């Protein structure tokens, strides 16, 4: 038969790519743990209703779904938040709140692949459940800033744009717009479409020219002062106060340099209730690195009690593209502490000595069949070994070994303990 190809929008992870993937996951995980988030996981597929309940039926065309043998309608998870909400609802009041959780789920979306966007990918998710406090947002946003810096990015390499659904809602009410569900999708595309289309599409949702004009100007606001001058209602002021506090706290946390007010950020779906944010590389040459917001009514929508929550997702694809472009990815080459070789192909001795080094915690490899020494050296070099240890060198001291440091070509002999010190 002909070998079937790699499915559309998926990736193979040969060892070289897997090392890069692990590098990213390690930094993600360490950063999340450093901020006190606990890791959780869920199944890779869920009942379809978990997603339609939150986002409506349209979502079905954009995910992988199937009927299982028990005629259950199943979907491969396209995002993690509904699973998280399910976990929260199931445990009910027994979870001590607030709590901070993270996960690195493998996600699936049925859509056409393009740069920065695949059908199967990974996404770091950080969420804080059980508090309406704006300091939860502050915690998440500083975690983002710190972890991006862990990757070697500078604060001026990325920007975290912050907006607020609460503020936008209040302002819409202020200018007399009540039917907001149709308005949001248009607002979300505001910067992508022509000005006249923006006006005509909003007119189609029932907005007057004057309302649209005000809204357009409002969303152009670049500073808190600018917004302050445009709003008047108590609701708007309360929403803006929240943003003020958030910015102040982020300054104190050290993440302030990357944060900007950007009211053009709306985000597609309807369940966000407060702060929304998106992270971009400077220059916005790529898709969003991360995005998220507050979803205080999600659990309620999915059949549980009302539990406030806020969180974000950061995909591996765009991030890896960005790090690659900036030269911040590590070498994808294998590395080993020691390679154990033998002049006489004494395989048993090789296994014995390799075992001794491994017991000390070092990574060790050796030939798997009798091979002449030149080949063994080639293998050691190809596998990134730092030191080759010869098990049967004639110049070795009693109980010790001859060795060669590959980077310098230095030959020597010493005891196991002395050789162990060479690795670094």
Partner RNA sequence: GUGGGUGUAGCUCAGUUGGUUAGAGUCCCAGAUUGUGAUUCUGGUUGUCGUCGGUUCGAGUCCGAUUACCCACCCCA
Residue 166 within binding range of RNA, rule CB under 7 A: no
Residue closer to RNA by CB (options 96, 112) is: 112
Residue 190 within binding range of RNA, rule CB under 7 A: no
Give me the least distance between CB of 147 and RNA, in Å please.
Answer: 18
* Burial degree of 333 (CB within 10 A; 0-12, 13-18, 19+): exposed
Q: Give the span between the Cα atoms of 169 and 177, in whole angstroms.
A: 9
**Which of these ranges, 15-23, 136-144, 242-250, 377-385, lies near RNA under the rule CB under 7 A?**
377-385
Q: Are 141 and 314 in contact (CB under 8 A)?
A: no
Q: Give the span between the Cα atoms of 198 and 421, in whole angstroms.
A: 68
Residue closer to RNA by CB (options 8, 91) is: 8
Beta-ladder partners of 158: 281
Residue closer to RNA by CB (options 99, 343) is: 343
Residue 62 within binding range of RNA, rule CB under 7 A: yes
Give me the least distance between CB of 148 and RNA, in Å please.
Answer: 18
Residue 44 within binding range of RNA, rule CB under 7 A: no
Q: Which two tokens stand for residue 217?
A: 């100007």
Nearest to 263 by CA among 166, 135, 173: 166
Residue 332 within binding range of RNA, rule CB under 7 A: no
**Which of these ranges, 33-41, 84-92, 353-361, 371-379, lies near RNA under the rule CB under 7 A?**
371-379
Residue closer to RNA by CB (options 15, 409) is: 409
Full 3-state SS string of 101-127: EEECCEEECCCCCECCECCEEEEEEEE
Taking CB under 7 A as the criterion, the residue among 111, 300, 324, 325 binding RNA is 111
Cβ-Cβ contacts under 8 Å for 409 (sequence gap 6 or more)? none
Q: Name the helix (H) or strand (E) containing 314.
A: strand 309-315
Residue closer to RNA by CB (options 94, 408) is: 408
Q: What is the dihedral of CA 132, 135, 138, 139, to 10 degrees?
A: -90
Please state, in angstroms and as integers, the Cα–Cα distance from residue 104 to each residue in 27, 40, 108, 236, 313, following that order.
12, 9, 13, 36, 9
Nearest to 58 by CA among 205, 268, 292, 311: 268
How wide is the angle at C-alpha 169 spanned by C-alphas 193 and 134, nearest 5°?
110
Q: Give the span between the Cα atoms of 356 and 400, in whole angstroms.
A: 12
The packing angle between helices 234-253 and 134-150, to 10°, is 40
**Which of these ranges, 14-22, 110-118, 160-168, 349-357, lies near RNA under the rule CB under 7 A?**
110-118
Q: Are 175 and 213 in contact (CB under 8 A)?
A: no
Residue closer to RNA by CB (options 35, 343) is: 343
Q: Are 50 and 302 in contact (CB under 8 A)?
A: yes
Residue 49 within binding range of RNA, rule CB under 7 A: no
Nearest to 160 by CA among 144, 174, 176: 144
Residue 195 within binding range of RNA, rule CB under 7 A: no
Taking CB under 7 A as the criterion, the residue among 185, 256, 400, 414 binding RNA is 185
Residue 369 within binding range of RNA, rule CB under 7 A: no
Give me the least distance between CB of 374 and RNA, in Å please.
Answer: 4
Binding mask 212-251 for RNA (x = CB under 7 A): ----------------------------------------
Taking CB under 7 A as the criterion, the residue among 31, 32, 48, 63 binding RNA is 63
Residue closer to RNA by CB (options 245, 334) is: 334
Q: Give the span between the Cα atoms of 400 and 46, in whole angstroms.
A: 58
In angstroms, the first-to-last Cα distance of the chain is: 49
DSSP letter at 47 equals: E
How many chain residues are in contact with RNA, going by CB under 7 A? 54
Give me the least distance between CB of 290 and RNA, in Å please.
Answer: 10
Taking CB under 7 A as the criterion, the residue among 55, 212, 236, 249 binding RNA is 55
Give me the least distance between CB of 229 and RNA, in Å please.
Answer: 29
Residues 68-87 that bind RNA (CB under 7 A): 78-79, 81
Give me the least distance between CB of 1 and RNA, in Å please.
Answer: 11
Residues 390-409 that bind RNA (CB under 7 A): 390, 392-395, 402, 404, 406-409
Q: Which two tokens stand for residue 242?
A: 């929240």
Taking CB under 7 A as the criterion, the residue among 92, 206, 268, 397 binding RNA is 268
Q: Give the span between the Cα atoms of 332 and 317, in whole angstroms.
A: 17
- Using CB under 7 A, list all residues that contact RNA: 5, 7-9, 51, 55, 59, 62-63, 78-79, 81, 109, 111-117, 185, 188-189, 192-193, 267-269, 287, 291, 313, 343, 372-375, 377-378, 380-382, 388, 390, 392-395, 402, 404, 406-409, 411
């Amino acid at each position: 038969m002909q070998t079937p190809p790699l499915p559309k929008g998926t990736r193979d992870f040969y060892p070289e790519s897997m090392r890069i993937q692990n590098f990213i996951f390690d930094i993600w995980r360490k950063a999340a743990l450093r901020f006190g988030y606990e890791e959780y996981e869920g199944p890779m597929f869920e009942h379809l209703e978990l997603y339609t309940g939150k986002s409506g039926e349209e979502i079905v065309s954009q995910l992988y779904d199937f009927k299982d043998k028990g005629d259950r309608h199943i979907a491969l998870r396209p995002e993690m938040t509904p699973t998280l909400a399910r976990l929260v609802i199931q445990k009910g009041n027994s979870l001590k709140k607030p709590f901070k959780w993270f996960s690195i789920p493998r996600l699936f979306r049925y859509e056409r692949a393009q740069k920065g966007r695949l059908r199967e990918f990974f996404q770091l998710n950080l969420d804080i459940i059980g508090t309406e406090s704006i300091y939860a947002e502050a915690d998440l946003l500083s975690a983002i800033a710190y972890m991006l810096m862990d990757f070697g990015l500078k604060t001026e390499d990325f920007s975290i744009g912050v907006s607020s659904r609460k503020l936008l809602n209040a302002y819409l009410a202020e200018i007399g717009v009540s039917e907001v569900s149709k308005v949001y999708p248009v607002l979300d595309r505001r910067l992508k479409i022509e000005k006249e289309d923006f006006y005509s599409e909003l007119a189609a949702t029932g907005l007057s020219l004057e309302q649209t004009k005000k809204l357009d100007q409002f969303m152009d606001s670049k500073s808190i002062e600018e917004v302050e001058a445009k709003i008047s209602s108590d609701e708007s002021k309360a929403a803006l106060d929240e943003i003020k506090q958030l910015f102040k706290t982020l300054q104190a946390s050290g993440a302030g340099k990357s944060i900007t007010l950007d009211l053009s950020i709306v985000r597609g779906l309807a369940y966000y209730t407060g702060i929304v944010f998106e992270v971009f590389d400077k220059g916005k040459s790529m898709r969003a690195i991360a995005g998220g917001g507050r979803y205080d009514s999600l659990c309620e929508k999915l059949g549980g009690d009302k539990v406030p929550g806020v969180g974000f997702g950061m995909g591996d694809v765009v991030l890896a593209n960005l790090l690659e472009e900036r030269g911040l990815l590590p070498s994808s080459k294998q590395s080993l502490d020691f390679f154990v070789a033998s002049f006489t192909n004494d395989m048993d001795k090789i296994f014995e000595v390799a075992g001794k080094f491994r017991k000390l915690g070092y990574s060790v490899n050796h030939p798997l069949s009798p091979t002449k020494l030149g080949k063994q050296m080639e293998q050691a070099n190809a596998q990134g070994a730092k030191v080759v240890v010869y098990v049967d060198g004639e110049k070795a001291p009693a109980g010790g070994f001859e060795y060669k440091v590959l980077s310098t070509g230095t030959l020597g002999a010493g005891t196991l303990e002395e050789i162990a010190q060479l690795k670094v």
